Amino acid sequence: MPVMAYSPIEQGRLVTDEGLGEVAGELGVTPAQVALAWLLARDGVIAIPKAGTVEHVRENRAAADLALLPETLARLDAMFPLSGGPVPLAIL
Ligand SMILES: NC(=O)c1ccc[n+]([C@@H]2O[C@H](COP(=O)([O-])OP(=O)(O)OC[C@H]3O[C@@H](n4cnc5c(N)ncnc54)[C@H](OP(=O)(O)O)[C@@H]3O)[C@@H](O)[C@H]2O)c1
């Protein structure tokens, strides 16, 4: 079943996440791009970021071409672990 990340930048809050910022700095990309590339690396996952500027649209599109290494994906998995079981869908 496909999964849709409907708030993939957490309504903008992820751009100031310290861990994402570290990874982004090492790769020379932005935190938003790391967040999107991490999601898109998973089979069957799509992301629908909302962008209000052309710059953000371009940046987010470029994230689709960002291939993260397995060790980077594992690092991000550890930073943002899955929940232990079913949780209610957040209403935004
Ligand atoms: N149907 C539903 O139940 C449902 C639920 C949630 C969301 N949605 C829809 O899904 C879309 C996304 O929702 P969302 O706003 O919650 O989440 P989001 O895409 O995670 O976050 C959007 C925020 O991230 C910022 N942003 C986007 N790209 C960026 C970039 N490259 N760098 C820095 N900041 C960036 C945007 O700023 P700028 O505007 O300045 O670009 C905006 O403040 C919206 O169209 C929303 O309506 C639908």
Q: What is the pLDDT of residues 24-77, one digit of tens each?
A: 999 999 999 999 999 999 999 999 999 999 999 999 999 999 999 999 999 999
What is the C-alpha to C-alpha distance for residues 51 and 15, in angstroms, rounded to an integer? 13
Q: What is the pLDDT of residues 4-36, one digit of tens each?
A: 999 999 999 999 999 999 999 999 999 999 999
What is the C-alpha to C-alpha distance for residues 31 and 80, in angstroms, rounded to an integer? 14
Q: What is the DSSP string of 60-76?
A: HHHHTT----HHHHHHH
Ligand 1 pocket list (CB less than 6 A): 6-12, 15, 30, 32, 48-53, 56, 59-60, 92
